Structure 1
Amino acid sequence: MQRTLFRALENHFQNYNLFLLSLSSTSKTPISFTRRNHTHDTGVEFSGVRETIRWETNPDGFTLVQMIRNCINHRYVSHGKQLHCYALQSGFASNVYVNTALVSFYAKVVSLDDAHKLFDEMSQPNVVSWNSIISGYVHSGNLYKALSLFLELNQSDLLPDAYSFTSALAACGQLSLLLLGMSIHSRIILYGLESSVVVANCLIDMYGKCSSDDGAIHVFNELKYKDVISWNTVIAACARNRRLELASDYFYQMPYPDTVTYNEMINGISQFGDIDEAIKILKSMPNPNSSSWNAIISGYVVKNRAWEALNFFTQMKARSVVMDEFTYSSILSGIACISALRWGTLLHCCVIKQGLVTSMMIGSALVDMYSKCGQVKDAEMLFQFMPRKNIVTWNALISGLANNGESHKVVQYFEELKDAKGLKPDDITFVNVLAACSQCQMPLERAYEYLISMNDDYGIKPKPNHLASIIRLMGHHGQLCKAESMIYELGFGSCPSVWRALLGACGACGDLDVAKVAAAKLRRLEDNEVGYVILSNINKDRGNWVDATAVWDLMRDEGVVKEAGFSRI
């Protein structure tokens, strides 16, 4: 296997022998390898870069590891692969330290698939080798795979170290897997690593992201030595879980708050508290940065105060605060909510002028903004010209097309997404696809295929909004009795929004029998008049005034009162 890999690498690099000559010299003195005006492998030219590496004629394993690390730090893809060739040719193929460095190189710079292949070929990987591949999957966002590998390590003859646990805890936090995180915590205590400040900080972060602020506080209080990261992490855990008073207490207890500390407080208060208080903290900061201002803008947008967000954005611009992709994506989200197209196009110009047009985050926000402003063609054109797209980008376009009635294009782009390398639809994608099926009244069989594929092919369990779209489509096809059965089969019998969707579908097709069942179910689940009012309106629309009156009599007998509406002339 190694010989095959060696041949593939050697064929790939025609200048391999020249590179080996640069590694060695006929003299026995050290030589230097200098790179000037190097063009980065990603195509970005770095003028004036000078990197000097020195080694002996026949570099040993330690020197080779250092050289590979240098390729990782500077993302020298081709040179890293050539060092792999040199390692294979020079007998370092069985050196666990060299192989571990190569696993790290491929994971961080080239491809996780290649890193995993190399890892699998190692006869006796050490714990550092395991850590390299696990952390690679964490950083790439493949969190379940990272946790699967961590569990394999846990079952091997090797003992996980602090770094192993920090990677696993990071994955648990991002996935909100509290029970698994607690299980890992028990292992940490078993191995006597709970006193490590690095591990403790990761535990605090994990508990905070899993909405267990009490767990985060407990770990923090038990920690004897607390560094700046410990304080910042517990403040963030309290703030993101709406315990603003406790976050404030820690903030004022902290010996030396830094910019991150202030930003965590501003972000928490902006999201869940009084934005004016957050602005006061911003003004009191010794060195506010872009993130400080971004938190305020994001807070305004979350609270549906987009015009105030724009006003704050103009203040940021007037003070020459550096604007990054987070600034623009946040303010564009606000603009999308109020359909302020002129502001959106103005900001698009600013993005181009600032050289951020290739940002995937900003591109996704622009696609969303143009879609919500009704400019679907502009959104589609922008999407087509984006060099890189993630699932957020695809969802922004698919959602925009669905909301603007372009149902057939929704299905078209969904089929393209299924073939996109490295991407797969998520639950938001399927919400829009199923909504499009309902809007254009597709055959039920097609919608069923999507619903089944969602679970079988992508592991996404149906949610109420998925089922609601299917129910509306079934209403168009007059299959509401079957829809009622499906609600129970999929376990949504106690979900009001699903019954509301069924009642609405009954109104569209005039099925009074199922409507009565849905209205009664809604009455029990929500304890308000909504179901009965809809049922009464269905009867009136069908000309059944006697039944409509009977519904109102039933409401009166049960003590249900419809809230009065108001109109103004």
Structure 2
Amino acid sequence: MNLSCSLSRCLVAPPSLRWLSTSTASLPLHHTRLQPSPPSAVPPTTTAAASRANDDPRQNSDLREQALLSLFNSCSSTGELRQIHAQIIRSGFHQHVYLVGRVVSFCSVSEAGSMDYAAQVFQGVRWPDGFLWNTMIRGFGRTGRSTEAFLYYKRMQEQGKPTDNFTFSFLLKICGQLVAPELGKQVHCSAVKRGLDSHVYVRNTLIHMYAMFGDTTTAHRLFDEMPNRDVVAWNTVIDGYVHCGEHRVALDMFLRMHGSGLRPDDATLVVVLSACSELGALDFGRWVHSLIRGSRFERFVSVSNSLIDMYAKCGVVDQALHVFEEMKDRDVVSWNSMILGLAMHGHAARALQLFARMQEQWGCIEPNDITFLGVLCACSHGGLVEQGKMFFDCMRRDYHITPTIRHYGCMTDLLGRAGLVREAYELIRSMPVECNAVVWRTLMAACRVHGDLELGERIRRHLLELEPDHSSDYVLLSHMYASAGQWQDMLGVRESMRGRGVQKPKPGSSLINF
């Protein structure tokens, strides 16, 4: 890495961000003077607090500041935030960096916030401090507006504002989200020049970023170079290996962490259990469960959800159900994981019974699109055609959930297994979204099982448009011709495979953990 590179050269990377080298005068931010809304628009608690802050002449500046700060505790929308900001302006605190910073921070970290509003507020501050700059970068990064985040970084540099560990942590996280290795390395270069690359926040984000790039070698090297590793560092490197599909290495890293005497937190346990799920490492998962028993993590919903998922994917459905029943609090993920676990292992009736229990929790827990994937999967595996149709309609009519391609895939599988291939074909044709190759292939396999050669040929034409060189489609059609005794057509398919250079699929393999 060339540490002598200038900042302007560091920020030239992806085409989508290449215009950062242009003048910042084009930034589309315009200060808007806020007009305070009528008091009736302010929640009662907000109005009362504002009154104390403005009308009581005995209150000094500090008390007014505290009263204004207290308004943020009940703020839950941009509309309420505008009211608070109006009170700040009326109280003469519009240049108070900390109070204005709370306004900007709400926009940056809250789902109810607006970064456009934050930009307007920021534009009105004469001397924004580092916290305000960093908050703007963080907010634009969180909302996927990476170009604007880097533009604020560029403005920081041009105005001589010092960058710190938070600045680089936010920028590096954005680079990871973008999967932009060149830009990430250039920001890394800038962090090294500032002497901040060894800071624990920056180093942890660097590990995360390189893992997002799939570069686990660099991520591991950065981890090993850390003199003192906290639980976040361990979590980051373990999660990085899981993200890259290196689940065995992730479990090895957890063993190293355990051997170092550092206690895991809930995030560690969740990611380690996910690695066990992917590997089918039941014994390792049971050992992790033994570490959880009797600890405070037994009460963590996320940890229990991960245990349910791990046991279900390892085929120990009864143990998954035991964890589920022992939970004092459950969220929608808890119900979904258990319903899907039962459905995938052929326990259709139990899955639907659990869904009925979930519906009784109406008002506390509401089914979502994943819930109905599990329900439709249960109907498919159980051959419950009429119930599957009913739930598919119920999802749209009663819960206002728009079916995705995965829901249509489940319905195609349900109808195909029952031999209703023509009905499945019409369902696909009625989809509001374009059908993908996986769903067409599911129906083609059903056509082979039920001997509908004419429809199979029609589906093959759809597949040729989507994935013309997928070997499984040729094999399926070849087998269909063979079953129908159409040997010349079968030979024609094989000749077509050779002509296109398509190889037969390799035999499958299984993995057994000892």
TM-score category, normalised to shorter length: 0.7 to 0.9
How much has 1:399 moved relative to structure 2? 2.0
Give the TM-score normalised by the residue count of structure 2. 0.74
Contact 1:364 1:392 (C-alpha < 8 Å) held by counterparts: yes
Conserved in 2, the CA contact under 8 Å of 1:165 and 1:188?
yes
Aligned position for 2:188: 248
- What SS does the corresponding residue of 1:236 show, helix, strand or coil? helix
Distance 2:141 2:46 in 1: 42
Q: State the shift of 1:232 in Å.
A: 1.7
How far does residue 96 in structure 1 lie from its aligned partner after superposition?
A: 0.8
TM-fit CA distance, 1:430:
2.1
- 1:498 maps onto 2:431 in alignment: no
| Separation in 1, partners of 2:490, 2:51 | 77
Structure 2 counterpart of 1:150, from 75, 78, 81: 78
Deviations 1:3-60 (A, max 9, x none): xxxxxxxxxxxxxxxxxxxxxxxxxxxxxxxxxxxxxxxxxxxxxxxxxxxxxxxxxx
> Are residues 1:522 and 2:463 paired?
yes
Are 2:165 and 2:201, in contact at CA under 8 Å, matched by a contact in 1? no
Name 1:438's counterpart in structure 2.
380
Q: Distance in 1 between matches of 2:127 and 2:346?
A: 55
Pairing partner for 1:411 from 352, 360, 368: 352
Structure 1 counterpart of 2:109, from 145, 160, 170: 170
How far off is 1:195 after superposition? 4.5
Show CA shifts across 1:137-189 (max 9, x none). xxxxxxxxxxxx425766999589654453344345xx9xxxx9664466446
Deviation at 1:381, TM superposition (A): 0.8
Q: Does 1:428 align with 2:373?
A: no
State the shift of 1:383 in Å: 0.7
Instruction: Describe how 1:325-344 pairs up with structure 2 within 5 A.
Output: 325-344=266-285
1:235 corresponds to which of 145, 152, 172: 172
2:49: which partner in 1?
97
Q: Percent identity, aligned pairs only?
A: 24
Q: Per the alignment, in what secondary structure is the counterpart of residue 292 of structure 2?
A: helix
Partner of 2:137: 204
Regions of 4+ moved over 6 Å: 92-95, 98-101, 126-130
Q: What amino acid is the match of 2:443?
A: L
Q: 1:133-144, aligned counterparts within 5 Å?
A: 133-135=74-76
> Structure 1, residues 318-357: CA drift from partner, whole Å, max 9, x if none?
1111211111111111112222222222111111254422
Work out which structure has the larger RCO, using CA pairs closer than 8 Å and 6 or more positions apart in sequence.
2
CA deviation after TM superposition for structure 1 residue 519, in Å: 0.9
The answer to whether the 8 Å contact 2:50/2:87 transfers is no
Shift in CA distance, 247/497, structure 1 to aligned 2, threshold 3 Å: farther
Kindly state the Cα deviation for residue 377 of structure 1 after the two structures are TM-superposed.
0.6
Q: 1:566 to 1:434 in 2, by over 3 A?
A: closer
Counterpart residue identity of residue 483, structure 2: D
Distance in 2 (CA, whole Å) between partners of 1:474 and 1:229 is 54
For the residues of structure 2 that align with 1:130 and 1:391, how far apart are their CA atoms?
32
Tell me the amino acid that sits aligned with residue 517 of structure 1.
R
Residue 289 of structure 1 deviates from its aligned partner by 0.4
CA distance in 2, matches of 1:238, 1:194: 28
Corresponding residue for residue 302 of structure 1: 243
Q: CA separation in 1, counterparts of 2:52 and 2:339?
A: 42
SS in 2 for 1:323: coil
Q: What's the CA shift for 1:514?
A: 2.1
Q: 1 CA distance for matches of 2:423 and 2:317?
A: 36
- In the alignment, residue 431 of structure 1 is paired with which amino acid? L
The residue type paired with residue 379 of structure 2 is C
Structure 2: gaps of 5 or more residues: 1-43, 54-66, 89-99, 509-514
Letter in 1 for 2:147: D
CA–CA separation in structure 2 for the residues paired with 1:479 and 1:399: 24
The reply on whether 1:220 has 2:172 as its aligned counterpart is no
Distance 1:156 1:328, change over 3 A: closer
Which of residues 509, 515, 534 is equivalent to 2:450?
Answer: 509
Contact kept, 8 Å, 1:100 with 1:128, in 2: the verdict is no
2:311 corresponding residue in structure 1: 370
CA distance in 1, matches of 2:415, 2:296: 48
Q: 2 CA distance for matches of 1:415 and 1:439?
A: 18
Provide the secondary structure at the position in 1 that maps to 2:446.
Answer: helix
Q: Which moved more, 1:298-307 or 1:371-380?
A: 298-307
Q: Are the counterparts in 1 of residues 50 and 68 from structure 2 also a CA contact under 8 Å?
A: no
- Contact kept, 8 Å, 1:282 with 1:292, in 2: the verdict is yes
1:482 aligns with 2:423: yes
Higher mean C-alpha deviation, range 498-507 or range 160-169: 160-169
Structure 2 counterpart of 1:393, which letter? S
1:207–1:237 contact (8 Å) kept in structure 2: no
Relative to structure 1, is the Cα distance of residues 315 and 190 closer, same or farther in structure 2, using a 3 angstrom cutoff? closer
339 and 566 in structure 1: CA distance in 2 versus 1, 3 angstrom threshold: closer
Q: Using structure 1 for the length normalisation, give the TM-score.
A: 0.67
- Residues 21-420 of structure 1: matches in 2 within 5 Å? 96-97=48-49, 131-135=72-76, 149-150=77-78, 158=86, 163-172=102-111, 183-184=116-117, 187-188=120-121, 195=128, 197-223=130-156, 224=159, 225=161, 226-243=163-180, 244-256=184-196, 258-420=199-361
* Residues 273-325 of structure 1 deviation map (CA, whole Å, 9 limit, x = unaligned): 33232222223224320010111111222233222222221211111112111
Aligned length, in residue pairs: 431
Distance in 2, matches of 1:439 and 1:164, equals 52
RMSD of aligned C-alpha atoms?
3.5
Give unpaired runs (5+ residues) of structure 1.
1-91, 102-125, 136-148
Displacement after TM superposition at 1:415 (Å):
2.2
Pairing partner for 2:389 from 443, 448, 470: 448
- Identify if the C-alpha distance between structure 1 residues 429 and 201 changes in structure 2 by more than 3 Å, giving closer, same or farther: farther
User: 1:203: how far off?
Assistant: 3.5
Residues 407-445 of structure 1 deviation map (CA, whole Å, 9 limit, x = unaligned): 22222222222333532223322222211111111133x
Aligned equivalents of 1:391 and 1:99: distance in 2? 41
C-alpha contact (below 8 Å) 2:134/2:166 kept by paired residues: yes
Aligned equivalents of 2:241, 2:321: Cα separation in 1:
28
1:238: how far off?
1.3
Conserved? CA contact 1:194–1:200, under 8 Å: no
Q: Following TM superposition, by how much is the alpha carbon of 1:211 offset from its aligned partner in structure 2, in angstroms?
A: 4.2
8 Å CA contact retained: 1:555, 1:561: yes
Looking at structure 2, the residues matched to 457 and 375 of structure 1 have their Cα atoms a distance apart, in angstroms, of 33
Aligned to 1:535, which of 470, 477, 480?
A: 477
Query: Aligned-pair distance for 1:247?
Result: 4.1
Instruction: Determine the C-alpha separation between the residues in 2 that align with 1:564 and 1:443.
Output: 34
For residues 316 and 333 of structure 1, the distance between their equivalents in structure 2, rounded to whole angstroms, comes to: 17
> Could you tell me how far apart the structure 1 residues matched to 2:45 and 2:433 are?
56
1:217 to 1:342, Cα distance in 2 relative to 1, 3 A? same
Q: Which residue of 2 aligns with 1:85?
A: none
1:488 and 1:453 mapped to 2: Cα distance? 21
Question: Could you tell me how far 1:240 is from its partner in structure 2?
Answer: 3.0
The residue number in structure 1 matching 2:412 is 471
